[in-house]
Amino acid sequence: MNDVAATLSTLRQLPPLRWLVSLLHRVGLRGRNAVIALPYLWLVLFFVIPFVIVLKISFAEMQTSSPPYTSLIHWVGDKLTDLRVHLNPSNYLGIWADGIYTQAMLTSLKVAVISTLLALLIGYPMAYAIARADTRWRGMCLMMVILPFWTSFLLRVYAWIGILKTNGLLNNFLLWLGVINEPIVMLQTDFAVYLGIVYSYLPFMIMPLYATLEKMDLTLLEAAEDLGCKPMRAFFTITVPLSMPGIIAGSMLVFIPAVGEYVIPTLLGPADSLMIGKLLWTDFFTQRDWPKASAVAIALLLVLIVPLVWFQRRQAHATEAGQQ
């Protein structure tokens, strides 16, 4: 410990670090403040600044040049008062006017909601089983849940094509079993999209659920039983409410990426499927309409963030009310 402290203090004396430290000190960042500032710095660098850039582009106009959008700020003269800001709302108005975006958004939301519910239905029993399993097995089970991450996401989705296609593994297996007489069309259906999303995001549902279920006090269930509550009812009146934080966290982790999902519907879904992620891709890369695509991205963000913030505030109010 002393060695580390000594090394650190020597390091601090070196010119570039010394300047940095004194600069940070001057703006009031020292000790604990500096530690708290780190995550904020991260958020500003990798979330706020990119967000502002996208927001800026969404109010610009498309043009065939590099970059492919107009600047928002124009100088009409040399003085500071000659600065003109030109905001172009037509991208957003266009989204409204063109029904295809609203339709795609609704389809995406529907797919995300159904996938989240399916992931919850499949993930909850799995998380429950792992949390209640013998301690010896838990580590191994969790390992198996996250093992697919060792392979690339794209590869795993591709692998499903091989399984689901008309001449694929699953059809051949079912034919061999004699369950079906001719291949079923599974690839390029909504079923394949749900399957792909649930398969890909299931670990994100299981992990937070496991975390809350694992730390639950099991004597609460004994207390419930002791008061005349049958095990099934105890599950719904005690276990489920107490695992609500895990249910919410897991559902968010599945729902949010599922809404904007591009890869899975493109590879597994019907060719004509209208999902917001696919539209976004087309706008950016095929049409090269960056302002329109940015506006779609911002609209998507608002659709996700606004209900979330509302929900969180309501939760906070409920907790506060409970404390009085």
Partner 1 sequence: MPSSALDSACVRKPWNDPQAEPYIRIERVTKRFGDFVAVNDVSLNIYRTELFCLLGGSGCGKTTLLRMLAGFEEPSSGKIFIDGLDMSGIPPYERPVNMMFQSYALFPHMSVEQNVAFGLKMEHKAKSEIADRVASMLKLVRLSEFGKRKPHQLSGGQRQRVALARALIKQPKLLLLDEPLGALDKKLREHTQFELVNIQEQLGVTFVVVTHDQEEAMTLASRIGVMDHGKIVQVGTPKDIYEFPNSKFVAEFIGSVNLFEGQLVTDEPDHVRIACAELERPVYVAHGISAAPNAKVWVAIRPEKIQLSLQPPSDNHNWTRGVVKEIAYMGDMSVFLVKLASGKQLRITRPNMWRHDDENLTWEQEVFLHWHDTSPVVFTA
Longest dimension (CA), the chain: 83
Distance of CA 231 to the CA centre of its chain: 35
Q: Is 3 in the site for partner 1 (CB under 8 A)?
A: no
Among 3, 78, 226, 320, binds partner 1 (CB under 8 A): 226
Q: In which residue are the tokens 């991205």 written?
A: 297
| E strands present in the chain | 73-75, 83-85
- Which C-beta is closer to partner 1: that of 226 or that of 272? 226
Q: Is 224 in the site for partner 1 (CB under 8 A)?
A: yes
Determine how many CB atoms are found less than 10 A away from the CB of residue 59: 21
| Tokens matching residue 204 | 């994100």
Among 28, 31, 99, 322, binds partner 1 (CB under 8 A): 322
Q: In which residue are the tokens 């392979």 written?
A: 151
CA 59, CA 163: separation in Å to the nearest integer?
44
Among 229, 249, 267, 274, binds partner 1 (CB under 8 A): 229
CA atoms within 13 A on the CB side of 13: 5
- Which C-beta is closer to partner 1: that of 112 or that of 238? 238
In the complex, minimum distance from the CB of residue 253 to partner 1, in angstroms, rounded to a whole number: 22
Binding residues for partner 1, how many (CB under 8 A)? 18
CA 262, CA 186: separation in Å to the nearest integer?
19
In the complex, minimum distance from the CB of residue 236 to partner 1, in angstroms, rounded to a whole number: 12
- Which C-beta is closer to partner 1: that of 114 or that of 216? 216
CA atoms within 13 A on the CB side of 320: 6
| Stretch near partner 1 under the rule CB under 8 A, chosen from 83-91, 162-170, 191-199, 225-233 | 225-233
Burial class (CB in 10 A: 0-12, 13-18, 19+), 149: exposed
| Stretch near partner 1 under the rule CB under 8 A, chosen from 53-61, 76-84, 88-96, 221-229 | 221-229
| Stretch near partner 1 under the rule CB under 8 A, chosen from 18-26, 218-226, 250-258, 289-297 | 218-226
Among 64, 81, 219, 286, binds partner 1 (CB under 8 A): 219
Site of interaction with partner 1 (CB under 8 A): 217, 219-220, 222-230, 233, 238, 241-242, 322-323
